[in-house]
Amino acid sequence: METGLTDVTQTMKVVVSLIPLLPLAGFLFTLLLGKRFMGKRADVLSLAMVTASWVLSMYVVAHVWGHRHEAIDFDLFTWVRAGSFVVKWGYLVDTLTAVMLVVVSTIGMLVHYYSIGYMKNDEGYYRFFAYLNLFMFSMFILILANNYLLVFLAWEAVGLCSYLLIAFWFRKKSASQAGKKAFLVNRVGDFGFTLGLFLIFTTFGTLQFSGVFGKAALGQVGGGTMTAICLLLFAGAVGKSAQFPLHVWLPDAMEGPTPVSALIHAATMVNAGVYMVARSYPLFIHSHTAMLVVMIIGTFTAIYAALIALTQHDIKRVIAYSTISSLGFMFMALGAGAWVAGVFYLLAHGFFKGLLFLDSGSVIHGMSGEQDMRHMGGLRKKMPLTFWTMLVGALAMAGIPPLAGFWAKDEILGGAFVRGYYVVWVVGIAVAFVTAIYMFRLIFLTFWGENRASQEVQGHIHESARVMTVPLVILAIPAALVGVVAGWGPEHGLIHRFLEPVFYDLGSEKFAWAGEGGLLMLVSAIVVALGVYVAYVMYVRRTELPARAAERFPWAYKASFNKFNMDEVYEAVVIRPTIALADWLWTFVDTVIVDGTVNGIAWLWGVLGRALRPWQTGRAQNYALGVFAGLLVLVVMVRIFWGG
């Protein structure tokens, strides 16, 4: 049964509108007044706003819970009016929105509180909170929007915030470069998104979700057009959600402060691509080709990123590549037709990935800014809270039952298997195996063994402040439990029933626990356990093994460590030719042609002037000669034309 609309009460409209509006106000006031008036307490306003938004979001979610077949769709004002092209600024709240609201508002709020501790004493304190609020505003608009153009606006806005926050420590060259890289690579995807928007408008005549999805359901749009639309929209998602080949910006985005990595690059912004594809479900189900492409790219990205994560030394980079891999996993789910599983994974992933990032921030903080895992070790004694929460996160990530990751991951793998995508299932199992290895490699390197840092750093190791550890603990709870709570009973759990109105036509294949479903779950559990054991052996028992493995397979190690040379490929294929073209345009087109023309015209006049000047002798007799010659011409002309 699809969603129907009800008369939206005034209260609801106000509540929903306030959710993005409060952080916007927070941004404006903090930015304008923060430096002069708020000093060390520049965070107060933004914290208040984001907490209020969380409260309101929970209220909305509760409401949706009770009315899950009634979507809230209303417009606030007319935004664009250009002849017959009219776009309104409006919001849509259905169960999918509710899921996103939970993730965005909760993690957003926790990150804000965490940042009080993490960003303490930073000179850009007020700026940080202002930008965080701006980001919350943009992200809320993105998930609340009821038409594609507004989504696109918010899409660009979160990209802007990402740039601002990645390059937050803008005096550091690598940070500002990373910010630029993020923005530019995103732009490539956005180009596809824009073309998709154009195509949607010309095909459906509107950009409103209600209009587009209504018309799509009628089934009158040609397969080719629908595929094109879906692929173009997906191109935007590839950029925003860092899928291959537009993933290169995410690892570099780790230059930003860790709270930023947690919020934007794990829990919220990178999910925008997944959300967008999920939201466009009514379009994608009409294009088998597009779904296939989504699945293939997602699967490939998942294994690709996981292999790279295996050899990285920077703790944040490991988690970054892990995020890319997880996002790939989500797209794999959507493409294979396990829509609910994908969104479920998004929900769970937001919690445990956010937790992992915040934990790593705590580790870095405790290690006086050290991020290289080769210099860590043995931290579990000195930073117990961080250790336990991170362990929870890692277990969830790896997919150990009964934590969140297991249920979601398994539903995805099972969903793929049941629909006949056996190769995908195999790759997915491989991903799970590798994930377990690198995740626990991280844990063992960081928290086990002897500490390998300098004496000075070792002296400073301490557990983080309460304001940082409390959010960690709070996050650990859903990371552990949301799987069981929401997903118990595959395909019939809480979340499935919750999302049913949105994903209304999932087909008849269902993944069940009994029979072959149960067998699959067992296999994946064993594989994951195996991965943990391998990591244990390599990094705790016989720590010389990793080095020996690297020696044995140097090409494999190099490929993984150098991210399969993706950046170098871009450098050679895209950047060098572009620079060469720009160079040529400068030296040839600009200098020779443009300057040549301008200078040439000046030269021409000079030549003409110099040629004509000798005629001006100043002597009347010379002029008289001219007059006389003219007389001859005139006389002849008169004779010819007047005759007689």
Partner 1 sequence: MAAVDWYLALAVALFCIGAFGVLSRRNVIAVIMSLEIMLNAVNIALVAFANFVPAGAGKGTYFVLFVITLAAAEVTVGLAIAVANYRLRRTVQVDEFSELKG
Partner 2 sequence: MTGGIWYWLLFAICAAWVLLTGIGVVALKNIVHAAISMVLCFFGVAFIYVLLNAELVAIIQILIYVGAISVVILFAIMLTDQLRGRLRLFFNQQSVFALPLVVAVAVVLTWILVTADLPGATSKSQNLTLAALANGLFNRYVFPFELVSLVLLAAMIGAILLTRRED
Residues that bind partner 1 in the complex, under the rule CB under 8 A: 613, 616-621, 624-625, 628
Residue 637 lies near partner 2 (rule: CB under 8 A): no
Tokens of 449: 């063994």
Closest distance between partner 2 and the C-beta of residue 608, in Å?
23
Q: Which does 4 bind (CB under 5 to 8 A by kind): partner 2, partner 1, none?
A: none
Q: Which is nearer to partner 1, 86 or 625 (CB)?
A: 625
Of residues 164-203, which lie at the interface with partner 2 (CB under 8 A)? none
Closest distance between partner 2 and the C-beta of residue 610, in Å?
20
CB 501 within 8 A of CB 1: yes
Q: Which does 629 bind (CB under 5 to 8 A by kind): partner 1, partner 2, none?
A: partner 2
Q: Which does 6 bind (CB under 5 to 8 A by kind): partner 2, partner 1, none?
A: none
573-to-326, 382, 552, 642 alpha-carbon distances in Å? 28, 48, 31, 76
Closest distance between partner 2 and the C-beta of residue 629, in Å?
6
Tokens of 405: 């990751």
> Taking the C-alpha atoms of 60, 64, 66 and 69 in order, what is their torsion angle to the nearest 10 degrees?
160
CB 433 within 8 A of CB 532: no
Q: Which does 616 bind (CB under 5 to 8 A by kind): partner 2, partner 1, none?
A: partner 1
Closest distance between partner 2 and the C-beta of residue 609, in Å?
23
Q: Which does 635 bind (CB under 5 to 8 A by kind): partner 1, partner 2, none?
A: partner 2
Closest distance between partner 1 and the C-beta of residue 602, in Å?
20
Closest distance between partner 1 and the C-beta of residue 616, in Å?
6
Residue in this structure with the two tokens 């069940």, named with its chain if needed: 512
Q: Which does 632 bind (CB under 5 to 8 A by kind): partner 1, partner 2, none?
A: partner 2
- The partner residues of 145 in beta bridges, in order of sequence, read 91
Q: Which does 639 bind (CB under 5 to 8 A by kind): partner 2, partner 1, none?
A: partner 2
- The partner residues of 314 in beta bridges, in order of sequence, read 372
Closest distance between partner 2 and the C-beta of residue 599, in Å?
36
Stretch that binds partner 2, among 63-71, 480-488, 581-589, 631-639 (CB under 8 A): 631-639
Q: Name which position in 423, 579, 635, 637 contacts partner 2 (CB under 8 A).
A: 635
Residue 639 lies near partner 2 (rule: CB under 8 A): yes
Q: Which is nearer to partner 1, 514 or 632 (CB)?
A: 632
Q: Which does 174 bind (CB under 5 to 8 A by kind): partner 1, partner 2, none?
A: none
Q: Which is nearer to partner 1, 369 or 614 (CB)?
A: 614
Q: Which is nearer to partner 1, 198 or 623 (CB)?
A: 623
Closest distance between partner 1 and the C-beta of residue 605, in Å?
16
Closest distance between partner 1 and the C-beta of residue 635, in Å?
11
Beta carbons within 8 Å of 87's beta carbon, 6+ residues apart: 78, 79, 80, 147, 149, 150, 207
644-to-119, 505, 636, 638 alpha-carbon distances in Å? 105, 100, 12, 10
Closest distance between partner 2 and the C-beta of residue 625, in Å?
6
Q: Which does 618 bind (CB under 5 to 8 A by kind): partner 1, partner 2, none?
A: partner 1
Residue 76 lies near partner 2 (rule: CB under 8 A): no
Q: Which does 548 bind (CB under 5 to 8 A by kind): partner 2, partner 1, none?
A: none
Q: Which does 537 bind (CB under 5 to 8 A by kind): partner 2, partner 1, none?
A: none
For residues 546 to 585, the per-residue mask of contacts with partner 2, x marking binding by CB under 8 A and - elsewhere, is ----------------------------------------
Q: Which is nearer to partner 2, 76 or 636 (CB)?
A: 636
Measured distance CA(506)–CA(493) in Å, rounded = 15
Closest distance between partner 2 and the C-beta of residue 644, in Å?
5
Q: Which does 636 bind (CB under 5 to 8 A by kind): partner 2, partner 1, none?
A: partner 2
Which of 191, 474, 184, 445 is CA-nearest to residue 311? 445
Closest distance between partner 2 and the C-beta of residue 627, in Å?
11
203-to-196, 226, 280, 345, 557 alpha-carbon distances in Å? 10, 9, 15, 32, 49
Q: Which does 78 bind (CB under 5 to 8 A by kind): partner 2, partner 1, none?
A: none
- The partner residues of 88 in beta bridges, in order of sequence, read 78
CB 517 within 8 A of CB 524: no
Burial of 110 (0-12, 13-18, 19+ CB in 10 A): buried
Burial string for 442-476 (b: 16+ CB within 10 Å, else e) reads: bbbbbbbbebbbeeebeeebebbeeebbbbbebbb
Q: In degrees, to the nearest 5, what angle opens at C-alpha 92 toward C-alphas 87 and 97?
A: 135
Burial of 480 (0-12, 13-18, 19+ CB in 10 A): buried
* Distance from the Cα of residue 593 to its chain's centroid: 43
Instruction: Give me the sheet containing 70-82, strands edge to edge.
Output: 4-5, 70-82, 85-93
Q: Which is nearer to partner 1, 171 or 610 (CB)?
A: 610
415-to-95, 99, 421, 514 alpha-carbon distances in Å? 21, 20, 9, 14
Closest distance between partner 2 and the C-beta of residue 633, in Å?
10
Backbone dihedral angles phi then psi of residue 619, each to the nearest 5 degrees: -100, 125
Number of H helices, E strands in the chain: 29, 3
Number of residues that bind partner 2 (CB under 8 A): 11
Of residues 601-630, which lie at the interface with partner 2 (CB under 8 A)? 621-622, 625, 628-629
Q: Which is nearer to partner 1, 555 or 628 (CB)?
A: 628
Of residues 450-489, which lie at the interface with partner 2 (CB under 8 A)? none
Q: Which is nearer to partner 2, 473 or 637 (CB)?
A: 637
Closest distance between partner 2 and the C-beta of residue 606, in Å?
27
CB 135 within 8 A of CB 80: no
Burial of 517 (0-12, 13-18, 19+ CB in 10 A): buried
Strands 4-5 and 70-82, sheet pairing:
parallel
Residue ranges binding partner 2 (CB under 8 A)? 621-622, 625, 628-629, 631-632, 635-636, 639, 644
